[in-house]
Amino acid sequence: MHLESLANELLLYLFEFFDGIQLLRAFHDLNSRFNHLLYNHYRVYRIDFRSISKYQFDDLCQYCLPSITDQIISLTISDDDETPNLPAIFLSYNFTLDKFTRLQSLSLYSIQSFAQLSQLIYQCHQLPHLTRLRMIDGYNDDRNNDIQFLINTIWSLPKLQHFYLNYHSSSKTWLSKISTMSLSIEKLSIENIACTLRDVSHLFKYTPSLQHLSTYIHFNLEDEQIPIVTSSIRSLKLTFESSVPVLMNVFQMMPNLNSLELKTMGIYLTGHKWKKILMKYLSHLKIFQLRMYFEFSHRRNVHEQFNKLIESYRNSFWIEEHQWFIQCDCISFGEYHHGILYTLPYRFDTFVC
């Protein structure tokens, strides 16, 4: 069977399995029928400019992109080592985001120029269907005015539902600079930027519709006395490096939590203590994924500590009522012994030896 013998409906279905750039490179100008399908009927292009060659990018911008700007639903722009200066070249072709009228998702990778980044973010206000924004490894200047401008421009996007921010930043001012209310953001992921419980409380104040949160809370003594502000959070993915009182404050903020993925460092809690905490603060919890990294006391027998810890998780609360099964590994570093306790199954994102 020849590809051209397939009905148009089947071809359009097959197109959905292609990345937008691969699709255009494979079928553009093959014949008039395929051009008609590409430019008049296919409506869900996903264009990812990462790893594209300069020649392919120029060719696409000159001959293909002007005809499909209103058919692109997802766009990724990158300025990393593989695509240097791509945003500037993209803008030089007179492409502005307001032309991408059906765009639903925008991803911005490694854009170091604040002028380019702010220009693109500002243009997002002209996108009536934009619900998802991702910013990864980009502008990393700690100037507060710049950060405040960016974060409040994002928070003012009227239809934005999911914002993903992954910056390797020493700045801890991102969340604290929010001063614009967003009633649309429901899912927020913040990686590699440490925040305090006060930052999280401030976030809840300006993001009242937030239901899913992924973040990293770092130790801060003031967090143990911060007033509790409850939120609408249903799902939490948290990397936590602070004290047990602060952790309980976090849980008090989220009484309706039903899904928790938690990584802790420096906290040692037995199964009995976890049971008391979960029953007191998170009575609606259904999904619990835990990775607890800690150090065994070197003043006591490590083998006895290990067995006692494991035994504390072998009761009806863990095994029968919730079916949360626990494994613990002991790692020796000279005379020190570190433990990693985690629920099963668990997918580690880094190699642990």
pLDDT at position 140: 61
Total count of residues recorded for the chain: 353
**Structural contact between residues 243 and 218, judged by C-beta atoms closer than 8 angstroms:** no
The ranges of the chain with pLDDT < 70 are: 1, 139-145, 169-173, 299, 351-353
The pLDDT of residue 138: 74
What pLDDT does 352 receive?
56
From the list 303, 297, 351, 300, the residue with the least C-alpha distance to 328 is: 303
The residues spanned by each domain of the chain are 258-353
Task: Identify the pLDDT of residue 301.
Answer: 86
What pLDDT sits at residue 227?
77
- In this prediction, residue 335 carries a pLDDT of 74
At residue 176, the pLDDT reads: 83
The confidence score (pLDDT) of residue 146 equals 78
What is the DSSP annotation of 263-277? EEES----HHHHHHH
